Structure 1
Amino acid sequence: MRAIVMKEFGGPEVLRLDEVPDLQPRAGHHLLRVSRSGVNYADVHVRGNTYLAPVELPYVPGNEVVGSTADGRRFVGLTKGGGYAEQAHLHRRVAWSVPDDITDDQAVCLALQGQSAWHILFTAAQVAPGDRVVIPAAGGGLGSLAVQLAKAAGATVIALASTEEKRLLAANLGADATIDSTSENLAAEILDAADGPVTVALEMTGGPELAAVLNALAPRGRLAVYGFASGRQADLPLRPLMEKSITVSGFWLPNLYSDRNALPASMEKLFTAVRTGSLRTITGGVFPLAEAATAHSTLAARTHTGKLSLSTAN
């Protein structure tokens, strides 16, 4: 089969198409013919050797796939690598049957980014009606889903995005206010948009944006940290955390893989929301498997909106 094989760490150019042995059935797993492989920031960190769980080379990246078994059943699920390929193993505990009225392009938005958005909001940050919530990268795959989920939960949503196109998308998805995330006065603009301090802030960028949202949080506010897309890690300053009694929650989806109830329950809710039209998935681009490097360059440039994925059909 064809797969993207990393033989070294580095830039997008290390993602090279290669021929590797076909997979064999494995106990406790579904063997899928992959139709879509999700492209995520976790894959960028793997490529650059900055991922939370280091990998050994050679390595096939990709943690999110949609595909079919030999008997025609469709599944979407999570892998620990191996997703950028024509075949993948999905452990039955993190694999979900795709309803007939959900497309592959919709399903690939939900397993990693959809589940992450759900649990960042409702497990880590405990968003509730009346909260004022800041959501970064609101035009991206995870952010666009988080905007809708937070709004549906009764929160006031302040969406951050770097381009006018992304801010318009966030507004169309229900954000109450949109702000240029590159603003030098980001904290002040958040406070103005929310008519005061916010109760919840999501953060996945790092650097100055982290400091800004921390300054915009109300006393007893909640900060949920789930990434550092800028590549700049920063230490959280203790004084403002203590002065405002801010609760900080880190989030990494693999910590829920062993939970027998959390992910199946949230996936069913995500499927239902898509089916009823209350959650809209945004497809930002589907690249041929051979163009994985281009997909990574697009993700890093942050010029796209919505979800990026790879297709093995091209």
Structure 2
Amino acid sequence: MVTKQYDKIFSRIVKSKQIHESVLFIQNRNGDFSYKNEYGGKSIDAPLLMASITKLFTTTCILILLEQGKLSLDDKVTRFFDNGKLNGLHLYKGQEYTAKLTIAHLLFQTSGLPDVSEEGKNNLRKRVLHEDMNITIDELIALTKKMKPLFAPNTMNRSHYADINFYILGQIIESVANSSLEGVFTSFIFEPLGLEKTYLVIDEDDFIPSIYFKNNALSLPKYIKSCRASGGAITTAREMMVFIKAFFGGDLFNKEIFRELEKYMKLQISFYPIQYGGGYMRIPLGGFTMFFIGKGELIGHSGSTGSFAFYYPEKDLFFVGDVNQSANPATAVRMAIRLAVSSK
């Protein structure tokens, strides 16, 4: 019966004129229940852009380095940057907070920094719709300095989703591990899990799937290569399933560490009903959520291109997939919610 519900939900999603391809893969922890559905030639072994699900890779690396004793969540961010590069990054109501920013503020999205990817009249998302571009971490920091922070770090009892937080975390990982980010991803995640089709884009010649915006298939090799720790990884639904099980199953780091991450705050209203914890999203299902009533929660991450990877502890189910539509990435979140609610 539940597979019929999954069929119905998937069919409803792909009937949209904006959905040109989609893939859905569902399993329980031990894999004795498995369901997949594919549309538009997108199989569970086809490459897909993880987009912001890449942040789970970045979070994994931070947690492993934390477990190794090489950093602390309370470490000041400026410790990892030379020559005052970050000076003026967080100037709020005339007061400089940059020196007070910690790794925890970045990981929990409580830094108060603005999001140059999505905010402002000429944000990066709008610009790349017209022209593919490279952008460096120094350029991202400079753009962020031109915008106003939303609040002082760890105040207002809320979080504000901003890609710059994870761009900076990527730089910190490279500094602490004394390795390139792709090297750290490989040694900490890809090799231990046997992920052979998952990689961080490091060259414009690396294969990068097209990204749909409405009916337009965009090729953005320069921009995706620039996204790195915030959104630059490629995988398949099958390998994303392996990773999300490992992430929440304690196969990559001590599962007890999650107790430090289970502090959730509401994101800006455009992300409703999503909350943010230590490097991952939480969607509460215990009340009215997107017009559905369910039990428990979804934890994981979604991406701005319609990718998603969530764990539903209430039924011990994992949902991964992609709808590949950057004009309406909330479609993926709504599908994940419907799947969870229908999992009787």
So what's the TM-score if we normalise by structure 1? Answer: 0.33
